[in-house]
Amino acid sequence: MKITVLSGGVGGARFLRGLREHVRALPGDHEITAIVNVGDDMWLTGLRIAPDLDSIMYTLAGENDEVRGWGRTGESERVSGELKAYGVGWDWFTLGDLDIGTHLARTSYLRSGIPLSEATARITARWPLGVTLLPATDDEVETQVHVDGGSMHFQEWWTRHRAALPALSFEYRNALQASPAPGVLDAISGADVILVAPSNPVVSIGPILAIPGVREALLAATAPVVGVSPIIGGAVVRGMADACLAAIGVATAADAVAVHYGPRSRGGLLDAWLVDDADAALVPSIEEAGIAAGAVPLWMRDLDTSAAIAAQALAAAARL
Amino acid sequence: MKITVLSGGVGGARFLRGLREHVRALPGDHEITAIVNVGDDMWLTGLRIAPDLDSIMYTLAGENDEVRGWGRTGESERVSGELKAYGVGWDWFTLGDLDIGTHLARTSYLRSGIPLSEATARITARWPLGVTLLPATDDEVETQVHVDGGSMHFQEWWTRHRAALPALSFEYRNALQASPAPGVLDAISGADVILVAPSNPVVSIGPILAIPGVREALLAATAPVVGVSPIIGGAVVRGMADACLAAIGVATAADAVAVHYGPRSRGGLLDAWLVDDADAALVPSIEEAGIAAGAVPLWMRDLDTSAAIAAQALAAAARL
């Protein structure tokens, strides 16, 4: 079975780890490919930072910091201390030393003309991840947030301002000039199942869909597309997706996000959508919108619950 | 008094620290400007490394590792460990974490279009160095070593091969297309005294002199030019300058280096040359070559002996 997952960072990472766990227990050979958002990527002090690719890599490698919720375990900040002393970089954005190792490896490849997808393949080869990571594009597509008086990189809005500045709109800068990375369209067209991770619809999944060719490939895919809601009981599970949804006029509700993605039968993304048991009452309205829906436990508390969610997503796909 | 020093890395750093110490004890206001070799600079894993500028900065800041002889005190190698695990970079060349902070600050400036001289001014502003550091050029002039079968960056020949591969020649790549950095020619023409630090004549002082305009400015300068021998008793004080001198057909001897630099009266570099007491017998032959010479203790054992050498160099200049 070939499973392709559209994914952002932390939520996507946990979902992918659960999916890998579930699939390992299944008979037969299975391949998981993650198409990963690059809209959060940026240049900072000469380094190319790719937060979502790295969050997934660290999580699947077992190297993520479970307590802090992001970055490497056993991290230190010796280099960042120097950058602050020199007054270089963003003083509200601290890079860990181990993390800088990853950024330097990536930057080194990019500066020598190797595209992000190949750089990612070489970097992830360090660990047996059990999941192939494909950046959505090799081009530099960066999410800009328009606020009153100007715009800024998503990372500045998210980390520095804690998403507290009202967002007027999100722009996937350069997306229209970008192309899917090698392997992305094949991973969609050749998949047996396509899953949409419980990632931020606006700034994680949105930038992937904005790459010309991706939506078309998803519409043409023979595989069913099943999404997992990142909203439970009218609240975001993690992060500040509500501030993003509000900016694009979508309610922070599991059914609203499903309708935002839209039914594939009418040019949208989804064949099916999983909501949490707490949102079971929303199932009829989602189905009325043309999307098969089911209510299951969606809290990714640990590896077992994440694996169970992945199993439910595959079961929903099998029912289609 | 305005004192301008041509300098390489470690030896130049100790000489400059001694000079600063000596000058602090003199009455009046004095300015020290170091014109620093950039031939050892290189790009490595996307970072711009400038070993000589950094050696001088760390030493003058009191942040250098006195025991190891190079790099920062209290250094760690967390990032380098990651780079090795990713298989990126030179596995024989370890970058310290604190040092990487400096490289990232510099790279960040360079990537945003700020030239090396301005980047150096901003980076060195962190500490009250008491010496203005000017890279010889803002252009990328890198010393290549030609050996049997090919050529390599000086750093690879020096650090990886410990200067053990016979060098056929040294090439200051791109030097003829380079220009002196802003301030360099003024520091020469406006100086009251010009000193040549006891640095490697071939790979530290040579690349400075190779920048078009520098030799001409030194010839036209009103200030006397006094050099300090890096060779004592027929041996190099530190490093492997003998392997460099051999390649250009110069003996490892204090008089041979003086003759290699040549007397300024005949288009060379030097008005005067200081050798160690151990080489006092060479003084007549150096004076015969048209260079005033004197023998004084030249071992830079500590701050006091370094300051005494600087005092002798200034005294030699005063005698001219």
Contact between B104 and A43 using a beta-carbon 8 Å cutoff: no
Residues in chain B whose Cβ is within 8 Å of chain A: 43, 45-47, 76, 78-83, 85-89, 97-98, 100-102, 104-105, 107-111, 122-123, 126
Taking contacts as CB-CB distances below 8 angstroms, the residues of chain B near A88 are 104-105, 108-109
In a domain? residue A77:
no
Q: Which residues of chain A have pLDDT under 50?
A: none
In a domain? residue A69:
no
In a domain? residue A147:
yes
Reported as a single tens digit per residue, the pLDDT across B116-160 is 999 999 999 999 999 999 999 999 999 999 999 999 999 999 989
* pLDDT in the model for residue B98: 98
In a domain? residue A46:
yes
Q: Residue A196 in contact with residue A225, Cβ under 8 Å?
A: yes
Determine the residue type at B109.
Answer: Y
Contact between A97 and B88 using a beta-carbon 8 Å cutoff: no
Q: Which residues of chain B have pLDDT under 50?
A: none
Cα three-residue angle A82-A83-A89, rounded to 5 degrees: 170
Reported as a single tens digit per residue, the pLDDT across A188-241 is 999 999 999 999 999 999 999 999 999 999 999 999 999 999 999 998 887 788
In a domain? residue A96:
no
Taking contacts as CB-CB distances below 8 angstroms, the residues of chain A near B45 are 104-105, 107-108
* pLDDT in the model for residue B225: 98
A104 closest CB neighbour out of B47, B98, B111: B47
Mutate to test the interface with A, among B42, B43, B45 (most CBs of A within 10 A): B45
* pLDDT in the model for residue A202: 96
Reported as a single tens digit per residue, the pLDDT across A44-84 is 999 999 999 999 999 999 999 988 888 999 999 999 999 99
Residue A160: which CATH number? 3.40.50.10680
Q: How close is the nearest chain B Cα to the Cα of A246, in Å?
A: 35
Nearest CA in chain A to B96: A79
* pLDDT in the model for residue B70: 86
> Residue A2, SS3?
strand
User: Domain range holding A219?
Assistant: 2-63+131-319
In a domain? residue A168:
yes
In a domain? residue A57:
yes
Nearest CA in chain A to B81: A101
* pLDDT in the model for residue B69: 84
Count other Cβ atoms within 10 Å, centred on residue B318: 10
Contact between A101 and B78 using a beta-carbon 8 Å cutoff: yes
Structural domain total, chain B: 1
Taking contacts as CB-CB distances below 8 angstroms, the residues of chain A near B123 are 86
The pTM (predicted TM-score) of the whole model is: 0.92
Between the two ends of chain B, the Cα-to-Cα distance in Å is 16
Reported as a single tens digit per residue, the pLDDT across B90-105 is 888 889 999 999 999 9
Count other Cβ atoms within 10 Å, centred on residue B289: 18
Contact between B123 and A81 using a beta-carbon 8 Å cutoff: no
Dihedral angle of Cα A106, A111, A117, A120, to the nearest 10 degrees: -20
Q: Phi/psi of residue A295, each to 5°?
A: -110, 125
Contact between B46 and A104 using a beta-carbon 8 Å cutoff: yes
* pLDDT in the model for residue B241: 85
DSSP state of B159: I
* pLDDT in the model for residue B94: 86
**Does the CA dihedral A187-A212-A219-A197 come out positive or negative?**
positive
* pLDDT in the model for residue A70: 86
In a domain? residue A110:
no
Strand partners, B263: B270
State how far the Cα of A42 lies from the Cα of A48, in Å rounded to an integer: 6
* pLDDT in the model for residue A49: 96
